[in-house]
Structure 1
Amino acid sequence: MNDELKELSDLKKVKIKGDRKLFSATHEEIEQGATTDVYFIKTREILSELDLADTEVTAEIFPSQAGVFAGVDEALNLLEQKDVKVWALDEGSTMDRKEVVMKIKGSYEDFGIFETAILGAMSNSSGWATAAKECKEAAQNKPMLCFGARHIHPAVAPVMERAAVIGGADGASCILGAKLAGQEPSGTVPHALILTVGDTLDVAEAYHEIMPEEAPRTILVDTFKDEAEESLRIANELEEDLDGIRLDTPSERGGVTLDLVKEVRARLDQAGHEHVNIFVSGGLTPERIEELNQLEVDGYGVGSYISNASAINMTMDLKEIDGQAVAKRGRIPGTTENKRLKRKL
């Protein structure tokens, strides 16, 4: 790992190579402090010059709104080699507005420059996890998968999908995101394959023949033909081997409507394919899921509602300096008791 940035002159250590392919920070750059706000480097330098770098402080972190607390594991990973004590809520816990979700005690020199990274990790992950929880609650006992990786930068897509699983998603399509959450990725095929092959039924047959037995046979049916007609073509051919069909009708054709779901379900049942599940994706929100959940929809794929969720702002305040209660104006001096916090480091 590169040496941490301690003073302004150290910024010369931060080099941008001309052949850099992606603009996202590496793990080493984050640990170096290169993603922090520069004023924390200035703070570090001034405290050092004043012989105050080793001042013992207690910092508290709290959210701007209620939600699901996520990102704590990354924060702890940044602090695990530091001589600090950390108390926090568990990853995936519910949190209230302005509840203290993490407390850090130690030398300001040891953790001050990581404030930006810690708050950023927990703010975004908590926002994504909270959005996923809303969708899962709307879906109730039916599967809800996260398909949001395409809507954000690839460097953070795995973080987002892991957070979605923490919040309640039953699976994720992003390979690395699912792996980080301790799962295998979920998904079948995109429209691109069907467009390239030229016929949905040919793709369904090839998928059934080529893919592993444990891979669900769920086929997109909105690429070329009427969704009900395509569903019947595939169900009549694959019969009991067909697990489900996926409706992803684009907004240009009105999206997946309640009437469309009713028709597809009725026509499948009338043809003796009651076992075929209906999976819906495309522009879903908790409100849309609640509507669809009144019908015989068996699962959901949610993308932009989770990936585009607003971060839940996190604030870090120093509440003790050398054991003395402090606070900036508007806040109450001294540490806040929260019996839900657990010792993490």
Structure 2
Amino acid sequence: MKGLAKEELTSLEQVKLLKISPDRAFFSAQHEEIATGATTDIYFIRTYEILKDLGLLYTEVTAEIFPRREGILAGVAEVLNLLQGKKVEIWSLPEGSSFAAKEVVMRIKGPYGEFGLFETAILGMLASSSGWATAAKEIKEAAGDKPFICFGARHVHPAVAPVMERAALIGGASGASCILAAKMAGMEPQGTVPHALFLIIGDTVEGAKAYHRLMPPGAKRTILVDTFKDEAEEALRVAEALGPALEAIRLDTPSERGGVTPDLVREVRARLDGAGFHHVRIFVSGGLTPEKVRQLAEAGADAFGVGSYISGAPPIDMTMDLKEVAGRPVAKRGRLPGPLPNPRLERLYP
């Protein structure tokens, strides 16, 4: 957590004195607030107070984290950053690993007072990112070797949009439309233009020509063709106007008109091929699920933009249990005492 001033909230008095500016513009947590424990549940502060009074706050413990269902692990990097500088040891499955329900995905060992405050944040980081990564993995499996871009930023709070799209990349997305997410991943954001451009210009072909003329050479010439007229008709008009420069047409037909169907993809492909535009690929977006992606891929779609299926994926509930206290195996009722063996865990910190 380089550059962050960290005075952690470890007492009820500190919580009482914590003041939030009434002029605060956004309600998302700032990095410093996460690092100081301001996003934790209050009962961890109460625990710190009691353990400190009893002289037990820095008791050596081993904690294990496990998921309620299977999935793809993401969020590990944020956990490591959160605990950077702490006197703890961290073992984990590598980010992007698959895991089974109730498999130990992370183990933290050290004085409880070094990390117990952050249980809420740690579990939240892993739960949300793993849920998004798992949904992206499901899309990837459906798409096979055909790429897909995450278009989910508009469906979540902007504060977590980069987190969500990073998780999608871990799960198998080929790119991200969110600028910050792509940049943090060392990539350039992907996407062309919205329907708004064509609605303002008034014609799909005129919009396509303007895009081709004004956008840099590296910007893909992928043009929406469902704004005004029949998709197949518009695809041919745009292909004739841009010729070899046109890389793909994008089908994003709204649900009010039946959405993008396999039959529509087949027709557009056939008409493009029939007119000699074999090089033009078909990019599909709009309410896609793994099943729809699978069907559209079989029909001839070449690439996909997937938003709500990833962004709306439920978190994968994560649980943290203490399994050792002062070297003694322990567990709450219903759980097995002592660390559970998992040879797949790798030591990631220090």
Unpaired stretches in structure 1, ≥5 consecutive residues? none
Deviation string 1:73-93 (CA, Å, 9 cap, x unpaired) is: 000101111000110011111
Match of 2:276 in 1: 272
* 1:236 is the counterpart of 2:235: no
Report SS of the residue matched to 1:196: helix
Per the normalisation by structure 1, the TM-score is 0.99
Q: Is 1:312 aligned to 2:316, yes or no?
A: yes
Alignment partner of 1:25 is 2:35: no
Distance 1:74 1:166 in 2: 13
- Further displaced range: 1-10 or 103-112: 1-10
Aligned equivalent of 1:245, options 243, 246, 249: 249
Q: Which runs of 5+ in 2 are unaligned?
A: none
Instruction: Look up the match of 2:298.
Output: 294
* Structure 1 letter corresponding to 2:287: G
Supply the distance in 2 between the matched residues of 1:18 and 1:212 (Cα, whole angstroms): 44
Q: Is the 8 A contact 2:132 2:311 kept in 1?
A: yes
Kindly provide the amino acid, as one letter, of the partner of residue 283 in structure 2: F
Distance 1:265 1:71 in 2: 40
1:67 to 53, 71, 79: 71
Alignment CA distance shift 1:112-1:246 (3 Å): same
1:182 shift after superposition: 2.2
Measured on the aligned residues, the alpha-carbon RMSD in Å equals 0.8
Give the Å deviation of 1:296: 1.3
Residue of structure 2 equivalent to 1:86:
90
Q: Read off the aligned partner of 2:248 and give its amino acid letter.
A: G
1:215 Cα deviation from its structure 2 partner: 1.1
What corresponds to 1:195 in structure 2?
199
Q: Deviations over 1:1-60 (max 9, x none)?
A: 241011111113422111111100000000111100000000001000000011000000
C-alpha displacement of 1:155: 0.2
* In 1, Cα distance between equivalents of 2:65 and 2:186: 27
Output one character per residue of 1:268-288: Cα deviation in whole Å (capped at 9) or x when no partner: 111111110000000000000
Contact 2:263 2:299 in 1 (8 A): no
SS for the counterpart of 1:344 is: strand
Render the CA deviation track for 1:87-126: whole Å, top value 9, x for unaligned: 0011111111111110000000000010000000000000
TM-score (normalizing by structure 2)? 0.97
- Offset of residue 178 of structure 1: 1.2
**Which amino acid counterpart does residue 316 of structure 2 have in structure 1?**
I
- Distance, in Å, in 1 between the alignment partners of 2:202 and 2:239 is 18
CA distance in 2, matches of 1:4, 1:165: 32
Which whole-Å CA distance do the structure 2 matches of 1:88 and 1:64 have between them? 17
In the alignment of these two chains, the number of paired residues is 345
